[in-house]
Structure 1
């Protein structure tokens, strides 16, 4: 049985474990070998006043994460998702879509009016989000500057 649960800083070890398991593999290949950096990143996402972290559980096993924050914007309250993932063996089976629908229902029940997220066009997540009703914002750009 699948269940959505709100998570918090007390779940940090379980969250870090699943997050690293997913994002160190294809197509992301992120290097999370610096465990201090991983800990601080997850703490940044789940330890703030407006954090909203949701987990998808299959029986008692954490198989999906939605890590984000509630933001109060002029068009309504949004759930800004920074990270969304489902364990590899559960992908391509409709479980990600089911999880996303559960997240949407949870958000709606808390008077959140929309979800905002960013992803890369070159990863499967892009088509997953489009398939699930997300639209690409034509006037929105992401900018990045690295310090040398």
Structure 2
């Protein structure tokens, strides 16, 4: 297994893996609008502070982490917006291997924290808790639908 920083040359592979994971259980997101998905993934990968990683088994992309580097008063953090492992490779421990590998890489980049959000009612919540993530007390996510 290799963890590699992802660039624009891997955009098609990122899109295929993203759709395969997030358009199925437990997420069931509707990413059928190719323009909307392309724009979303460009939002995550095409900025000055974007940082994307891929987990590869030989030449096959089996995991992605899409995020950005954020500079806060308490230190620099890697904010992960999307993290997934190919559905065909889940439950093999690859998510933990990938996450720990990312921790090592960003620690070497002098990044102090990894921040992410997930829902409590999906398997990802228990996965992140198992891997050392804790809930921020007093933190609330809010949305205002227009």
Following the alignment from structure 1 to structure 2, what is the Cα–Cα distance between the partners of residues 38 and 5?
A: 22
Following the alignment from structure 1 to structure 2, what is the Cα–Cα distance between the partners of residues 137 and 75?
A: 14
Please state how far the C-alpha of 1:10 moved relative to its aligned partner.
2.4
Following the alignment from structure 1 to structure 2, what is the Cα–Cα distance between the partners of residues 77 and 144?
A: 25
2:62 corresponding residue in structure 1 = 63
Please state how far the C-alpha of 1:122 moved relative to its aligned partner.
0.6
List structure 1 runs of 4+ shifted beyond 4 angstroms: none
Following the alignment from structure 2 to structure 1, what is the Cα–Cα distance between the partners of residues 32 and 85?
A: 20
Given that 1:45 and 1:67 are in contact with CA atoms closer than 8 Å, whether structure 2 keeps it comes out as: yes
1:40 corresponding residue in structure 2 = 39
- How big is each residue's C-alpha offset from its partner over 1:4-40, in whole Å with a ceiling of 9 and x where there is no partner? 0001222211111110111000000000000000000
Taking only aligned residues, the RMSD between alpha carbons, in angstroms, comes to: 0.6
Name structure 2 gaps, 5 residues minimum: none
Following the alignment from structure 1 to structure 2, what is the Cα–Cα distance between the partners of residues 63 and 94?
A: 12
Following the alignment from structure 2 to structure 1, what is the Cα–Cα distance between the partners of residues 135 and 92?
A: 24
Given that 1:9 and 1:43 are in contact with CA atoms closer than 8 Å, whether structure 2 keeps it comes out as: no
- How big is each residue's C-alpha offset from its partner over 1:43-70, in whole Å with a ceiling of 9 and x where there is no partner? 0000000000000000000000000000
TM-score after normalising by structure 2 = 0.98
1:6 corresponding residue in structure 2 = 5
Following the alignment from structure 1 to structure 2, what is the Cα–Cα distance between the partners of residues 69 and 8?
A: 13
Following the alignment from structure 2 to structure 1, what is the Cα–Cα distance between the partners of residues 112 and 32?
A: 37
Residues 1:86 and 2:66 are matched in the alignment: no
